């Protein structure tokens, strides 16, 4: 199976300015993802590792760390309301014009710096061995479940689960897995036909919660810095 690995890194970020290249313990955030992606390429699990960005500064940094930046992503698919599928279609069209075709696409967001080489390798091998349209990485949530979740209406709590006050034990709760945004894999035929990255019933690749930090805020960034200093 031929894989195109895309690292999306647009300029705009409301939570953290220049988030994708912000310093994380002496290195730009995106470098952690690029380094592991290139290791995956070095063992021939993927055909290409490319960074899709609308920012020349990000492009320069990405190239310094060894990633290909074969194009600058158009502004019209790089805004706050742009969909992820847009940059995937854009990358596939670029390579189609060059006569290159891929069976599946892997997306690694730079905001998941604790995603390991083994996580990427194992998820690709799992996806390759199964007949599924998509794969997402997840972690097992041990605490949060719909028995303790509420909507707020005025000053009242509206339970998501009618059994919220029935005294269920932890062992009786259904296991919950949370999408962590670290790894997405999708068959090209599926995304072209459906215009979605995630199928209705995706294959799950489980990661540890400690490796599932997704940096969206300065608080997340501080947690990541502290973990890397240990």
pLDDT digits (tens, 9 = 90+) for 194-223: 999 999 999 999 999 999 999 988 999 998
The pLDDT value recorded for residue 11 is 83
Q: How much is the average pLDDT of 166-195?
A: 86
For residue range 14-42, what is the model confidence (pLDDT) as tens digits? Answer: 778 889 999 999 999 999 999 999 999 99
Per-residue confidence (pLDDT) for residue 171, from 0 to 100: 57
Cβ atoms within 10 Å of 55's Cβ, excluding its own: 21
Domains of the chain are 3-139+177-228 (3.90.550.10)
Contacts of 108 (CB under 8 A, 6+ apart): 5, 6, 7, 33, 36, 37, 115, 120, 182, 183
Residues contacting residue 65 through CB under 8 Å, at least 6 positions apart = 28, 30, 31, 34, 35, 38
Q: What is the pLDDT of residue 170?
A: 57
What pLDDT score does 148 carry?
84
Q: What is the pTM of this model?
A: 0.90
pLDDT of residue 143: 81
| Choice among 123-137, 139-153, 157-171 with the minimum mean pLDDT | 157-171
The answer to whether the CB of 204 falls within 8 A of the CB of 126 is no
- C-alpha span between 61 and 161 (Å, rounded): 48
């Amino acid at each position: 199976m031929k894989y195109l690995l895309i690292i999306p890194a647009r300029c705009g970020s409301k939570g953290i300015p220049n988030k994708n290249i912000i310093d994380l313990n002496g290195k730009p955030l995106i470098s952690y993802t690029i380094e592991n992606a290139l290791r995956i390429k070095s063992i021939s699990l993927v055909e290409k590792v490319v960074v899709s960005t609308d920012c020349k500064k990000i492009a320069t940094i990405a190239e310094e760390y060894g990633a290909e930046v074969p194009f600058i992503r158009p502004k019209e698919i790089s805004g706050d309301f742009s969909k992820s599928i847009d940059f995937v279609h854009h990358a596939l069209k670029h390579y189609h014009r060059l006569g290159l075709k891929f069976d599946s696409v892997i997306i690694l967001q730079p905001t998941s710096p604790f995603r390991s080489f083994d996580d990427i390798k194992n998820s690709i091998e799992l996806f390759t061995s199964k007949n599924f349209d998509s794969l997402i990485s997840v972690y097992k949530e041990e605490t949060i479940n719909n028995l303790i979740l509420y909507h707020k209406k005025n000053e009242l709590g509206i339970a998501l689960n009618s059994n919220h006050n029935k005294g269920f034990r932890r062992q009786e709760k259904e296991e919950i897995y949370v999408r962590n945004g670290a790894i997405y894999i999708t068959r090209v035929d599926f995304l072209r036909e459906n215009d979605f990255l995630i199928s209705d019933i995706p294959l799950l690749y489980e990661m540890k919660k400690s490796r599932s930090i997704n940096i969206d805020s300065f608080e997340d960034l501080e947690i990541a810095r502290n973990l890397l200093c240990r």
